[in-house]
A = this chain, B = another copy of it.
Amino acid sequence: MQLPSALLEQAVNEFSKLPGIGKKTALRLVLHLLKQEPEKVAAFGEALMRMRTETHICQRCYNLSDSLLCSICSNPMRKQEIICVVESIRDVIAIESTQQYSGTYHVLGGIISPLDGVGPDQLYIEPLLKRVQEGSVQELIFALNPTIQGDTTIYYIQKKLSPATVKVTTIARGIAFGGELEYADEMTLARSLQHRMPVENLKV
């Protein structure tokens, strides 16, 4: 693709570095921006830069934040004694969207995955253990993806916790609402039989 302007080419190149965006899509986006008012494009660029330089990582839970302590950790209405352990900020957003959880979070920043070269030391596991050791934590809810790596991470952290007396749970696994038994994998189906629950629990 030969572009008529070096500046245009540079903008297209920058866009096509983003995941899932190829050269053609990048060009379409850039030509769209070219039609906008310069102030709007400046606002776009500045929003990206500010987002990168002015957001913080919460010192307690490693969630994204506009201040040193995130809006969840600093909210007195959230139960500080319940911690939901997640892999990434994306999971916090997903759980917050359910509007069903009133505890706090701890973002690990990944999961243990030796094949990808990710060991416990690269994750925020140590700070989580410290939060538990401080004593006020009553329950850790693991909300990790149900994979081998997720389960390994849960197992590793649980072992490290062993002297502490804290309740450790994981989010329920089973057939998704609206899912079809026929298409569920054996592992999921077997586990959901094994962990069957009283029908009364279905009440919302």
Residues of A within 8 A of B (CB): 1-8, 10-11, 13-15, 17-21, 25, 27-34, 36, 38, 41-55, 63-66, 70-72, 88-90, 92-93, 96-97, 99
Contact = CB atoms under 8 A, between A and B. Distances in A.
Contacts of A49: 38, 41-42, 45
Given A14-B44, A17-B44, 13 more contacts: A4-B64, A4-B70, A4-B89, A7-B55, A13-B47, A14-B47, A18-B29, A38-B49, A38-B53, A42-B52, A45-B45, A45-B46, A45-B49
Contact of A48 (B2, B45, B52, B63): B45
Given A2-B97, A14-B44, A34-B64, A51 B19 contact: no
B11 A47 contact: yes
A151 B41 CA distance: 35
Contact of A64 (B5, B41, B99): B5
Given A4-B93, A96-B2, A18 B34 contact: no
A92 to B, nearest CB: 6
A40 B15 CA distance: 12
26 contacts: A1-B93, A1-B97, A4-B89, A5-B64, A6-B66, A7-B51, A7-B54, A7-B55, A8-B51, A8-B55, A13-B47, A15-B44, A19-B32, A27-B93, A31-B88, A33-B51, A34-B52, A34-B55, A38-B53, A41-B48, A41-B49, A41-B52, A41-B53, A44-B45, A45-B46, A45-B49
Contacts of A27: 90, 93
B93 A3 contact: yes
Given A47-B10, A48-B11, A90-B27, A4 B34 contact: no
